[in-house]
Amino acid sequence: METLLIVEDDAKLAALLSAYLSKYEFRTVIVEDFNLVLETFTASGADLVLLDVNLPRYDGYYWCRQIRKVSLCPILFISARDSGMDQVMALENGGDDYITKPFHYEVVLAKIRSHLRRAYGTYAQTLEERKLHSGELTLYPERYVIQHAGQSAELTQKEALLLEALMLKEGRVVTRERLLDVMWEDQHFIDDNTLNVYITRVRKKLKDLGLDDRLETVRGAGYRLSSPGERP
């Protein structure tokens, strides 16, 4: 029996969701103290999280990032916010799907089953987490986290995609066109400066971990992540 954690501050809606999902043999746990979302997640052993965006104190994006530090379980946002930017924010902060309110319970159930199959069942690729290494720098692409010398930093989804592309070709130039292809399925509407913004953010996060000058700009060509010990 899979366990679902419901992080919803509308107590009536949380109870209705719990009652509906329980009929399909899911064990549900409802968060009651919104200061202890991560602790409740850990104690529940949840296989999947249903997460609202508007919550007391910290929003759902914050709690999604906290859960991602310790788990790769599916996280489905459920929110009344229906803008495209909210959905982008949810995915960039580590969410797997986004359902807008009001919703059909059947749709929620179908998405839960689909994500559980992909994570643990028929379509699960592997239980081992992917890691990329460059010297002592480690990227966890599925958690959007980098670690170096005992310190870690969080990335957004786009930042993780950018750094993964550079690490896979460490020491070699990756063109701007290749990075745009990796980061955006449809780049026709992407402003050219947008990639510069993400490069700056990743460069700063590397610098904060003591990896200054590892990400180089190769004028007229693209970007290069230098190899460990290589003089920039």
Domains of the chain: 3-120 (3.40.50.2300), 132-225 (1.10.10.10)
For position 181, what pLDDT does the model report?
86
- Please tell me the predicted confidence (pLDDT) of residue 7: 96
Q: What is the pLDDT of residues 62-92, one digit of tens each?
A: 999 999 888 889 999 999 988 888 888 888 8
Q: What angle do helix axes 176-183 and 192-208 make, rounded to 10 degrees? A: 90
- Residue 94 pLDDT greater than 70, yes or no: yes
**Cα–Cα distance for residue pair 76/108, rounded to 1 Å:** 9
pLDDT at 227: 81
**Which residues, 6 or more positions from 137, have their beta carbon under 8 angstroms from its beta carbon?**
146, 147, 148, 167, 206, 209, 211, 214, 228
Judge if pTM exceeds 0.75. no
Spatial distance between the Cα atoms of 215 and 207, rounded to a whole number of angstroms? 9
Cα of 146 vs its chain's centroid, Å:
13
pLDDT tens digits, 114-159: 999 888 876 665 556 788 998 889 999 888 899 998 888 989 888 9
Q: Which two tokens stand for residue 222?
A: 């693209």
pLDDT of 190 over the 80 cut? no
